[in-house]
Amino acid sequence: MLDHAGGQIDGDGRLRHLLTLQGLPRETLLAVLDTAASFVSIGEREVKKVPLLRGKTIFNLFFEPSTRTRTTFEIAAKRLSADVISLNVQSSSQSKGETMLDTVQNLEAMNADMFVVRHAASGAAHFIARHVRSHISVVNAGDGRHAHPTQGLLDMFTIRHFKGDFAPLRVAIVGDVLHSRVARSEIHALRTLGVREIRVVAPKTLLPSGIEELGVRVFHDMTEGLRGVDVVMMLRLQNERMKGSLLPSAGEYFKNYGLTAAKLALAAPDAIVMHPGPMNRGVEIDSAVADGPQAVILPQVTFGIAVRMAVMSMLAGGQS
Amino acid sequence: MNITLPEAEPLYQAWAGQVRPLLSANTRVVGIRTGGVWLAERLVAPEPVGALDISFYRDDFDRIGLHPQVKPSALPFELDGADVLLIDDVLYTGRTLRAAVNALFDYGRPARIRLAVLIDRGGRELPFQADVVGWRGELPAETHVALGRDEAGHFCLTLGQQHEGYRDA
């Protein structure tokens, strides 16, 4: 099943779907980053639009709410001149009892060219990719705890932008790794791109068992985990996790795993701080750090548009 | 078929002599990547030139996709009301020019656009003609002409076969 990177790459080496970064070759990741670099300048022009995907129809299928990811996919599609329609499926057809596949087939009948899918269930985008017609591409915009490949790619773009080469970097991923599709995509990409060291920093209750098998070093003490790192990638602590037995309280979590200026001082002096958003200020990150000179959280958002433009144009190009 | 292209350096010198009268203080020189930018830079050095990448405006994107190493366009001047001289190395089907003119209009509305090319190889599919042509000839469809530049900045012209699946424009 994992031949051609899980069906994401066709026999000619062309990207057909983007579902997960796991198994994608280094050349493919670098091709996305290089293509994205050329799209950054379009966002800085007065006319922020190129005619590359003119006449293509892209459906953003969000079975789970999201503002930022949906918005950046929409902007990316519009800057490529595609027609983009965003559907919040939760609040429409699903509540009327339509299955996911029915929804997809109806949109296929409207001559869709691409689906961007966000779903609370792991594997949803893969499922859709297996059932769509062969000319349609699927982009996973986050499936359950499994993967969020465009977030992983925009994080890699951000790291390369600020740090240049991946090889010498020590990277710490801090927070709720257990529930985080972002963390999984980041770890796969960082491994493929060959950073010197990947650390995960989290309490035992927020780490999946066997995480070491992904090639990461595990730290439960944040002061140790951050020592000397070049990149600090914070994860969002989802509020609903606080209600269960996984964590004592937000205050306790902040004390142990919140990123403060004092803890950041243990990292390399020029370390960058990243966060996929939306941030819980005072829970996983202190405002002084989030707004401080080492934070690159807003550039992540800007680069996210260019990376999504790159992915969509690579999927749509050369198909006919 | 035996085709002889002229020597690149003398050709450039003669071409540059024809182009210079078109330049005034208000002319904005824009080269099409990559060969057109080399010609433009050498023509007006040390004045800055615009560099136009037309990859995002090509009409064959559906067939051949995107080259990952697209360099962004860089136009270090206003185009609104400008007198633009567009420069390319080889004029063939005219499709590159169509894309280039579209791209320019996303940056502004020039008052005038003129075109200077080093080589016009015939084979037009769109109604574009150059104001200045260095060398004119009909080349068969399977040939590929490329302008090269060595480390010292000297030009050379090479004649080869078209790459499969990719067509010059």
Indicate if the pLDDT at residue B168 is higher than 80.
no
A58–chain B nearest CA distance, Å: 15
Among candidates B53, B57, B69 on the partner chain, residue whose Cβ is nearest the Cβ of A51:
B57
Q: Does A35 touch chain B (CB under 8 A)?
A: yes
Tell me the chain A residues in contact with residue B61 when contact means C-beta distances shorter than 8 Å. 52, 313, 317-318
B96 located within any domain: yes
**Is residue B168 assigned to a domain?**
no
In a domain, B2, yes or no: no
Are A8 and A141 in the same domain? yes
Chain A nearest CA to B32, separation (Å): 16
Q: What mean pLDDT is reported for chain A?
A: 92
Give which of B33, B63, B64, B66 to mutate to test A binding, by max A Cβ within 10 Å. B66
Examine the domain organization and report whether A203 and A95 are in the same domain: no
Structural domain tally of chain A? 2
A243 or B103, which is more confident: B103
Same domain flag for A272 and A139: no
Q: pLDDT higher for B36 or A97?
A: B36
Asked if the model's pLDDT at residue B165 lies above 50, the reply is: no
pLDDT digits (tens, 9 = 90+) for A155-199: 999 999 999 999 999 999 999 999 999 999 999 999 999 999 999
Contact in structure between A226 and A232 (CB atoms under 8 Å): yes
Interval A101-158: pLDDT, tens: 999 999 999 999 999 999 999 999 999 999 999 999 999 999 999 999 999 999 999 9
With an 8 Å Cβ cutoff, are A51 and B102 in contact?
yes
Which residues of chain B have a CB within 8 Å of the CB of A37? 72
User: Which structure tokens are listed for A31?
Assistant: 């091709």
Which pLDDT band, with edges at 50, 70 and 90, does B166 fall under?
Answer: very low
Residue A174's H or E segment, with its range, is strand A170-174
Give me the residue label for tokens 């002889």: B4
Within a domain: B49: yes
- What's the number of domains chain B is made of? 1
Residue type, A146: H
Q: Are residues A90 and A124 in the same domain?
A: yes
What average pLDDT score do residues A200-226 get? 95
Which structural domain, as residue segments, surrounds residue A113?
Answer: 4-148+301-316
Q: What is the DSSP string of A3-67?
A: THHHHTB-TTS-B--B--STT--HHHHHHHHHHHHHHHGGGGSSS---STTTT-EEEEEESS--S
Report yes or no on B166 lying in a domain: no
- Range in A47-56, A92-101, A270-279, B42-51 with the lowest mean pLDDT: A92-101
Please indicate, yes or no, whether residues A47 and A135 belong to a single structural domain of this protein.
yes
Nearest to B61 among A35, A42, A317 (CB): A317
**Which residue in the set B56, B72, B108 is minimally distant from A52, CB to CB?**
B56
- Distant-in-sequence, close-in-space partners of A183: CB < 8 Å, separation ≥ 6: A173, A175, A176, A177, A200, A233, A235
**A12 and A132: one domain?**
yes
Residue B68 domain flag: yes
- pLDDT tens-digit readout, A75-87: 999 999 999 999 9
Query: For the domain that residue B130 is a member of, what is the CATH number?
Result: 3.40.50.2020
Residue B125 lies in a domain: yes
| Contacts of A44 by beta carbon, 8 Å cutoff, 6+ apart | none
Alpha-carbon gap, residue A221 to A256, rounded angstroms? 8
Domain CATH for A268: 3.40.50.1370
Residues A159 and A139 in one domain: no
Distance to chain B for A309, nearest Cα, Å: 11
**In what order do the strands lie in the sheet containing A57-62?**
A83-88, A57-62, A114-119, A137-143
Do A293 and A305 have their domain in common?
no
Q: Which residues of B touch A14 (CB under 8 A)?
A: 65
The beta strands (E) that lie in chain B are given as: 27-32, 50-52, 83-91, 112-120, 132-136, 143-149, 155-161
Residue from the list A31, A45, A318 with its beta carbon closest to the beta carbon of B63: A318
Q: Which of A34, A47, A317 sits opposite B106 (nearest CB)?
A: A47
**What's the mean pLDDT in A62-78?**
93
Q: Are residues A104 and A194 in the same domain?
A: no
Residues 45-84 of B with CB under 8 A from A: 53, 55-57, 61-66, 68-74
Across B72-95, average pLDDT: 94
Q: Is A173 helix (H, G, I), strand (E, B) or coil?
A: strand
Q: Could you give the CA distance from residue A187 to residue A147 in angstroms, rounded to a whole number?
A: 10
| pLDDT over 90 percentage in chain A | 82
In sequence order, the 6+-apart residues with CB closer than 8 A to the CB of B72 are A37, A38, A40, A41, A42, B53
A26 CB near a chain B CB, below 8 Å?
Answer: no
Task: Give the pLDDT band of residue A38 (cuts 50, 70, 90).
Answer: confident
Q: Are residues A144 and A165 in the same domain?
A: no
Same domain for A81 and A124?
yes
Categorize the per-residue pLDDT at B83 as very low, low, confident or very high, splitting at 50, 70 and 90: very high
Res A82: pLDDT:
97
Query: What is the distance between the alpha carbons of residues A138 and A16, in angstroms, rounded to a whole number?
Result: 8
Instruction: Enter the tokens of residue B89.
Output: 């190395």
pLDDT of residue A93 exceeding 80, the answer is no
What are the start-end ranges of the E strands in A257-318?
272-274
Answer yes or no: is pLDDT of A68 > 50: yes
Cβ proximity of A153 and A33 under 8 Å: yes
CA angle A117, A281, A249 (to 5 degrees): 95
**Cα torsion for A152, A158, A164, A166, to the nearest 10°?**
-20
Q: CA A124 → CA A92, A100, A130, A183, A271, distances in Å?
A: 18, 9, 10, 18, 36
- Is 50 exceeded by the pLDDT of residue A1? no
Interchain CB contacts (distance < 8 Å): A and B: 55
The β-bridge relationship of strands A231-234 and A170-174 is parallel
> Under an 8 A CB cutoff, do A313 and B66 touch?
yes
CA distances to A44, A141, B66, B164 from A315, in Å = 24, 14, 10, 21
Write out chain A residues lying below 8 Å of B165, CB-based.
none
What residues of chain A lie within 8 A of the CB of B167, using their CB? none
How confident is residue B145, by pLDDT bands cut at 50, 70 and 90? very high
Domain that holds residue B61: 8-161
